[in-house]
Structure 1
Amino acid sequence: MASRRHVIVDDLRMQISTGRIKAGERLPSEAQLASRYAVSTPTLRSALAVLQGEGLVEKVHGRGNFVRHPARRITYVGGGRAPNAQTATDAALRMTVRTTHLPAQGDLTALLKVSASSPLTEFLCLSHEGRSPHSLARIYVPRDLAPADGPSESSFYARVLGRMAELHPPLAKVEERVSARFPTPREAATLRISSSLPVLAITRVATDATGRVVEAARLVLPGDRADALFTHHTMSGDRRTEG
């Protein structure tokens, strides 16, 4: 016999899939739902957590639970020589960028190969689809390479690319480490995803010909909407392998 939690999950899932509850619509309050299904609040919240983990429902702090719009997929294209947090950003995604100047500390010193307290600039990039957060990136560059007047939504990447193009010597190596893991509590809250939904975590480090690290990026892409594409050209140049 199905548990009360599974009965609730199946019923709400059916209502969402058939359009009885539409994308963007707010669900009744947790108290109302608990009363409707004759269950305790913890049981109701457990059922909602399942739907949140499936990407069907998102909980917005202070506003309630909403049916999610189908997540637009994004492809991270690896192997590029330019600093780019989202190489395949869709035009429907809006980017906000927050700039912070900070001294290098903790694991940032090893990641960027700098001494403690070296001046860095962090760009916290959060993409949105409508009102819903879509993906997260933290990009770190030595402060002398950061755009002087700060980034904006539309010009950030073009300006960082332009700044990198001024480098002498040019970029020589890009190293990318990709892993699947569960989000931290802070990442789950920022992206409004369940802590049980795996994310694609990418750490990208770009180095110039002198060995100086000129950019380090940490990307977090929810697993229900992310792909990673890496293209490798063979020595002969007549074949390529994609993974």
Structure 2
Amino acid sequence: MTQTMRSRHHDIADDIKRQITTGRIKPGERPPSEVGLAGQYRVSTPTLRNALAVLQGEGLIEKIHGKGNFVRHRLRKIMYVGGWGTLDPWTAAEAALHVTDRATAIEAHGHLAALLRVPNGSPLTEFLSISYQGESPHSLARIYVPRDLDPTEAEAAGASPSYVRTEESFAVLSPLSAEVRETVSARRPTPDEASTLRINPTTAVLAITRVAADAAGRVVEAALLVFPGDRVDAVFTTHHVTDARQTQG
């Protein structure tokens, strides 16, 4: 019985996929409701939802909270350039990405305080950045900066901000940054990440934690970046320093 139910929802997923790939259901269009599809295929709603979950996992369908399921526009891959915290401008432009930002005043606690090497309760500014391709979310970042280094705070005080935000960067770039440390892992998204990116909770994401420090060792930025695995390639370049004595020898 279990095997029959499993094969049935895969058959339904294959049929809907065929309608999408042949153009019968076009990108941006909404398929019939879950109840309507369940009736059409003569299956229970849970079986139908399992079929849609297969399509969500393959990136063909996205579920928008409060609106329903939609056929996803094909999302292009971009390149993340490690060490600089930037999206490669060529691939980012190719994908026609735009970034929305929301700044919030918060306090550092727990893991965040440890990343920034500040006491619990220290004032920070959190930038929530979400990149979009068209109307579909592509990737997200949470960027944390000590309040006294927040560029908007500096401008309000009449000072010249040292840090500059750019749409391609997903970063607060500063000429004072002397060291950038990045930790990369592949994992499943948190429920909040899956909801924000409109992806299946079982889809693998590339998670990058980037910590930037100045020449004195002060952490000037901590960033938590999340990219669905099928939408990004990460490139890291290592520069080897040759000992002068070896060169002379």
Spell out, residue by residue over 1:29-78, the C-alpha distance to the aligned partner (whole angstroms, 9 max, x if none). Answer: 11110111010101000100010011000011121111111111111100
1:156 to 165, 172, 176: 165
Letter of the 2:49 partner, please give it: R
Letter of the 2:100 partner, please give it: T
2:144 and 2:28 mapped to 1: Cα distance?
35
SS of equivalent residue, structure 1 residue 233 = coil
The equivalent residue for 1:62 is: 66
Spell out, residue by residue over 1:82-115, the C-alpha distance to the aligned partner (whole angstroms, 9 max, x if none). Answer: xx45354723111100001111112111000001
1:12 and 1:6 mapped to 2: Cα distance?
10
Spell out, residue by residue over 1:156-176, the C-alpha distance to the aligned partner (whole angstroms, 9 max, x if none). Answer: 328943xx23xxxx3221100
Spell out, residue by residue over 1:214-243, the C-alpha distance to the aligned partner (whole angstroms, 9 max, x if none). Answer: 11100000011111001123335xxxxxxx
Which has the larger helix fraction?
Answer: 2
Does the Cα contact within 8 Å between 1:99 and 1:150 map onto a contact in 2? no
Q: TM-score, normalised by structure 1?
A: 0.86
Does the Cα contact within 8 Å between 1:13 and 1:51 map onto a contact in 2? yes
CA deviation after TM superposition for structure 1 residue 23, in Å: 1.0
Does the Cα contact within 8 Å between 1:120 and 1:140 map onto a contact in 2? yes
Cα root mean square deviation, aligned: 2.2
The equivalent residue for 2:92 is: 90
SS of equivalent residue, structure 2 residue 208 = strand
Letter of the 2:107 partner, please give it: P
2:241 to 235, 240, 243: 235
Letter of the 1:11 partner, please give it: D
1:57 and 1:6 mapped to 2: Cα distance?
15
Does the Cα contact within 8 Å between 1:199 and 1:223 map onto a contact in 2? yes
CA deviation after TM superposition for structure 1 residue 148, in Å: 2.2
Q: Which deviates more, 187-196 or 88-97? A: 88-97
Does the Cα contact within 8 Å between 1:146 and 1:160 map onto a contact in 2? no
Does the Cα contact within 8 Å between 1:183 and 1:198 map onto a contact in 2? yes
The equivalent residue for 2:189 is: 183
1:175 and 1:104 mapped to 2: Cα distance?
19
1:134 and 1:198 mapped to 2: Cα distance?
14
Q: TM-score, normalised by structure 2?
A: 0.84
Does the Cα contact within 8 Å between 1:183 and 1:199 map onto a contact in 2? yes
SS of equivalent residue, structure 2 residue 140 = strand
SS of equivalent residue, structure 1 residue 231 = coil
CA deviation after TM superposition for structure 1 residue 4, in Å: 1.4
Unaligned segments of structure 1, at least 5 residues: 237-243
The equivalent residue for 2:121 is: 117
The equivalent residue for 1:25 is: 29
1:212 and 1:235 mapped to 2: Cα distance?
25
Letter of the 2:193 partner, please give it: E
Unaligned segments of structure 2, at least 5 residues: 156-163, 243-249
SS of equivalent residue, structure 1 residue 55 = coil
1:222 and 1:181 mapped to 2: Cα distance?
10
> Is 1:197 equivalent to 2:203 in the alignment?
yes
1:187 and 1:103 mapped to 2: Cα distance?
21
CA deviation after TM superposition for structure 1 residue 210, in Å: 1.0
Q: Which runs of 4+ in 1 moved over 2 A?
A: 84-89, 148-151, 155-161, 233-236
The equivalent residue for 2:161 is: none
Letter of the 1:214 partner, please give it: V
